[in-house]
Amino acid sequence: MKAETKQALLESIQHWERLANGESEKGEWTGPDDCSLCKMFAEWHVQAVNCEGCPVYEKTGEHGCWNTPHERMSDLCNTAQTEIEMERLKDTTEFYVAAQEELEFLKSLLPKDENEND
């Protein structure tokens, strides 16, 4: 894994750790604007995204985090219609469980030597 890719993955892991532990900042959310991997790899087209090179894509072969725990989080977040509802959602068990699942998935993408101490 390239050093810059590994750094983006580590930053994404830190982001999901904050979400899973209830330590996120106001406005920090689950989407691509807060994901270092998306910022590095996602190329947005009319109604599609190309994520080639992203470790998530390399693992799943799917664009947009399909077939990952992020799908569960997306489904959950789609229930929130306002910013207030989104902030309240962060305090639910369902949110923490989904965030923890995404966190564990991202950690599994670390090179073997980085994952042994977890």
What H or E segment, with its residue span, contains residue 44?
strand 43-44
At 113, list the tokens: 């030597």
Q: For 63-116, write each residue's pLDDT tens digit.
A: 888 899 999 988 888 887 777 887 788 888 999 999 999 999 999 999 887 554
Name residue 57's amino acid.
Y
Contact 76, 94 (CB under 8 A): yes
At 56, list the tokens: 């998530």
CA distance 114 to 91: 30
Mean pLDDT of the chain: 87
Contact 50, 63 (CB under 8 A): yes
Name residue 61's amino acid.
G
**Domain map (residue ranges) of the chain:** 3-111
